[in-house]
Structure 1
Amino acid sequence: MDFSKYQCQFCGRPAKQYVFAAFCCESEDCVDKAREERGGPGGHMKAKMHGDIVNIKDE
């Protein structure tokens, strides 16, 4: 992937990496913003979880 075509989604500097579904520069602050925007640790999995609790009883 040619990162020179992209800018950091948070500060506008040239992107150096693609982390947490965002183009980011090398700044730790921007990487942290990308992680929080994605939902924090496990955020992509938390977003998939939905619905009610299903109780399964053995009879």
Structure 2
Amino acid sequence: MIILVTILFSIFYLFQINKMTYALCESREIPEEKQPKIYRTVNILITILIVSFFVEILTAVT
């Protein structure tokens, strides 16, 4: 149950971060050519954060 909640939270969190990244790109008027690199960097960093959190939850549960 805890794992399912963690996965759902992670998906929601990733979408919210992408939404905030989009708002950042719009407000700073970042050129279209640089936006994919920004999204990729943010998504990789957030994914690392989520995976480390997931591993911590798994070690705490077991």
Structure 1 length normalisation: TM-score? 0.32
More helix by share: 2
Structure 2 length normalisation: TM-score? 0.31
More strand by share: 1
